[in-house]
Structure 1
C-alpha cells in the first residue's frame, strides 16, 4: 500500500467515489463542480418532468376560471394567462436552473394567478435539489407576499383569513415534501456510497491478505530450500575441489546430493501447491517444531557437519507451536550459514528456556581454517529471521564474536 503509484483496487475506489452519483449529486450539491457537461435526462426524468408540467397546467387552468369571477379588465386577464403559459413552459428548465426559476416565479406568481402551479413546482424543485438556505429565502418571501396577494386579489368564494391560511399550509406542505424527498435521496446516496466503500475496502483487505500470505510462503520457501540447496552446493563444491577423494567419500557425497535434491523438490512441490490453493495454512506436511531439532542436527551430521547440541529446555512439550517453529527455523538458518561460510568447523547449537523466562536459541561457529570455497547467497536469510522473531514478540541478533567466529542469538517469548 506504499509508494507513489496507487494499486488497481485503490484506483477503482477513487473512480467509484467521485463518479458515483453523477447528475444526482450535482443536483444535490450546488457548490460542487458545474463546469462539466450536464448528463442527459433519463426516461424516468422525462416522465417526472412531464407530470410536473401537466400539474402546473392543470393548476393554471383552474386558476384561469377564477379570473372570470374577478372584476379585472380583459387585457389584464390576457396578460395573466400569457404569463401563466410562459411559466408552465419554464417548468422544463427546473432541473437546469432550480434557484433562478424559483426566484423569477415569486414576482410572476404574485402578479399572475395562473402562474401559481408553476410556482408550486419550482418551489418543490428548489427544496429537492438545493439546501435549505435557498428554500428559506424563496419560501420566506413567498409567505410574506401571500397576505398581500389575497388582499389585492381576494377570492370571492373564500374568506380572507382562510385563503391566507390555505396559502401558508400549501407553501409549507410543498417545502416539507420537497425536503423529505431530498433527505431520502441523500440517504440512498449515502447507503450506496457506504456499500461501495465496504466492497472496495473488502477487496483491498483481500488483496493485502493475499500479499501477506504470499510473502509468508516466500519466507517459508527460503527457509526450507536454503537448507537443502546449501547441502547440494557444499558437497558439489567438495567433489569439485577434491576429485581424487576416496570412493567412499564420493559415494556418500553423491548420496547426500541425491537425498537433498529429492527433499528440495518435495518441499518445492508442497509450497507451490499451497500457493496455487491460495491457503497458506494448507500445508502438505506438518510444520516443524522444537522437537524436530534433534532430527535437524542428525541430518546435518550425516551431511558431514560437526554439530554439538546443547538443549536445556524445561518442559519442552509445553513450548507453543509458533515459538517452537520459529526456533527451528532460526537453528536451521544458523546451521545453513555455518555450513556455507565456515565448513569443517564445529558448530554449537544451544537451546535453553523455561515457561515465563522465554526460549533462547544460539548458533555459534569458530573461525574456519584455510581457504573457504565461495558459496553464493542472497543475504536475506538473517533479515527474514529477524522479522520472524519480531513478529512473535522476540528479538534476534547476529554478528562476530570475540574469538573471530560468528553467532546468531535469538530470544523468543514463552509466557
Structure 2
C-alpha cells in the first residue's frame, strides 16, 4: 500500500513537471512537437524514481543528450536529472549512489559535447556545484534515516533487555522469598519439636504442664501456617501484572519455553539437549538459572544480528551446560557494572561443586560453560 501511494505521488510529480516544462518550452522558445516529446520522455522516469532510481537516472540521459543536439540548450530537462540524482543518493547505498553521480557526470559531459553552443565556464562550475549539492542532500537524508532507524532498533533492544532483566529479578526475588519461607517454617517446626518432646516427658507426671506445651505447639503451628500463607501469597502474586502464579520452580524441562521467550525478545536461539540423567531438584533450578542468566547476558550485550546456542548434556555422572553467542564478545560485557548475574552464577555453580568458565568464545563471541558432578543413583 505504501509503495502504491509513493508510485502515485511520483507519477503525479512527473506529469506536473513535464507539463510545466513543455509549456515553458513552447512559450519561451516556440519549440516544436519533437522537443516537447523529448521533454516528456525526460520527465517520465521520475514516476519510478523510488523503485528504480539508478535505471531511471540512466534513462533520462538519452532525451537530455538529444535535446542538446536539437535545441542546443537542454536546461529545461535538467530538473529531471537532478531529481533522479537525488533519488539515487537518498534511496540506495553508497556504491550505487556513487554510480549515479558518475552517470550524471558522463551524461552532462556528453550533452555539453553534443550541444552546438558550448556553455561558459561559470555555467559549468554552477552546474557541477548544483549536482554535488543535490547528491550530498540525498546522502544526508539517507544517513539521517539510517541513524533514526538505528536509534529505534537500539531502543527496542534496550526495552527487551529491560523486560528480561525484570523477569529475572522477579524470579530471583521469588527464590529469595522461598529461602525465607524455609527459614521461617524450619524455625517454627524446631520450636514445635522441642515443645512436643517436653510434653511427652511430663505427660504422665504433670498433665498441666503437658497441656500448656500442647497449647504452645498449637499456637506455634498457627503462626507457621500464617507465615506460610503470607509468603506463599507473595510468591504466587506478580506485583506488576497481578495474576497468581502456581507453577513450581523452573528446571531443565522449562528450557524450551525459555529459548522461545528469548527468540520472541529478538535473540535467535538454538537448544540442543543430550541425555536424560536424573538431576536433583536444587541442581535442576541452578542449571535453569545459569542458562537464563547466560541468555539474558547475550540478549543485552551480544548486539544486533547475534545468535545464541544452548547445549545441555546429561550424562550419568555429570551435567554439562554451555550458553554461547557469536556477538560482540567480552569487551561489551566489561562496561556493565550494575548487575550481579554472573556473580550469582558462580555462587550457584560453587554450591553444587561444579566447574565454571565465563569468557570469550573461540572464533568470536562469548560463552558461559559449566560442569556439575552428579551422584550415582
- Post-superposition offset of 1:199: 2.2
Match of 1:177 among 137, 152, 162: 137
1:125: how far off?
Answer: 0.8
Query: Secondary structure at the residue paired with 1:195?
Result: helix
Q: Which moved more, 1:211-220 or 1:143-152?
A: 143-152
* Alpha-carbon distance change, 140 to 238 in structure 1, aligned in 2, over 3 angstroms: same
Residue 142 of structure 1 corresponds to 104
1:163 to 109, 123, 131: 123
**1:154–1:160 contact (8 Å) kept in structure 2:** no
Provide the residue aligned with 1:97 in structure 2. 52
What are the superposed Cα offsets for residues 175-201 of structure 1, whole Å, 9 maximum, x if unpaired? 011111111211221222222222222
Q: Per-residue CA shift, 1:312-343, capped at 9, x if unaligned? A: xxxxxxxxxxxxxxxxxxxxxxxxxxxxxxxx
**Structure 1 residue 144, shift from structure 2 partner:** 3.0
Give CA-to-partner distance per residue, 1:166-219, whole Å, 9 cap, x none.
321221121011111111211221222222222222222222212211111122
Q: 1:252 offset after TM fit, Å?
A: 5.0
SS at match of 2:51: coil
**Structure with greater contact order relative to length (CA < 8 Å, sep ≥ 6):** 1
CA RMSD for the aligned pairs? 4.5
State the shift of 1:55 in Å: 4.6
Change (3 A) 1:204 1:116: same
Distance 2:38 2:30 in 1: 17
The 1:397/1:185 distance shift into structure 2, 3 A limit, reads closer
Residue pairs, 1:292-303, within 5 angstroms? none
Q: In 2, distance between residues paired with 1:204 and 1:235?
A: 47
**Residue 266 of structure 1, CA deviation:** 3.4
Q: 2:113 aligns with which of 148, 151, 160?
A: 151
- Structure 1 residue 228, shift from structure 2 partner: 2.6
Secondary structure (helix, strand or coil) at the match of 2:37 reads helix
Distance (Å, rounded) in 1 between the aligned partners of 2:43 and 2:170: 60
Which residue in the other structure is 2:227 paired with? 267
Structure 1 counterpart SS, 2:2: coil
C-alpha contact (below 8 Å) 1:91/1:121 kept by paired residues: yes
Specify the alignment match of 1:83 in structure 2. Answer: 38
Check conservation: 2:54, 2:88, Cα contact below 8 A: yes
Q: Following the alignment from structure 2 to structure 1, what is the Cα–Cα distance between the partners of residues 28 and 182? A: 92
Indicate if the aligned counterparts of 1:231 and 1:256 stay in contact, CA closer than 8 A. Answer: no
Alpha-carbon distance, 1:130 to partner: 0.5
1:273 Cα shift?
A: 6.4
Contact map agreement 2:54 2:96 (CA 8 A) in 1: yes
Which blocks of at least 5 consecutive residues in structure 1 are unaligned?
1-38, 280-377, 385-389, 399-415
Q: Residues 251, 135 of structure 1: CA spacing in aligned structure 2 closer, same or farther, 3 A cutoff?
A: same
Distance of 2:281 and 2:144 partners within structure 1: 61
Q: After superposition, what is the alpha-carbon deviation per residue over 1:274-304, rounded to whole angstroms, capped at 9, x for unaligned?
A: 555849xxxxxxxxxxxxxxxxxxxxxxxxx
List per-residue Cα deviations over 1:254-281 (Å, max 9, x = no partner).
Answer: 22431221221332354256555849xx
Aligned to 1:210: 170
Number of equivalenced pairs: 245
5+ residue gaps, structure 2: 68-73, 241-279, 287-342, 354-377
Rounded Cα–Cα distance in structure 2 between residues aligned with 1:96 and 1:397: 61
Give the whole-Å Cα distance in 2 for the aligned partners of 1:265 and 1:91. 79
**Residue 137 of structure 1: CA displacement?**
1.6
Work out the CA distance in 2 between the residues paired with 1:380 and 1:134: 59
Residue aligning to 2:158: 198
With structure 1 as the length reference, what TM-score do the two structures score?
0.47
- How many angstroms does 1:132 deviate by? 1.8
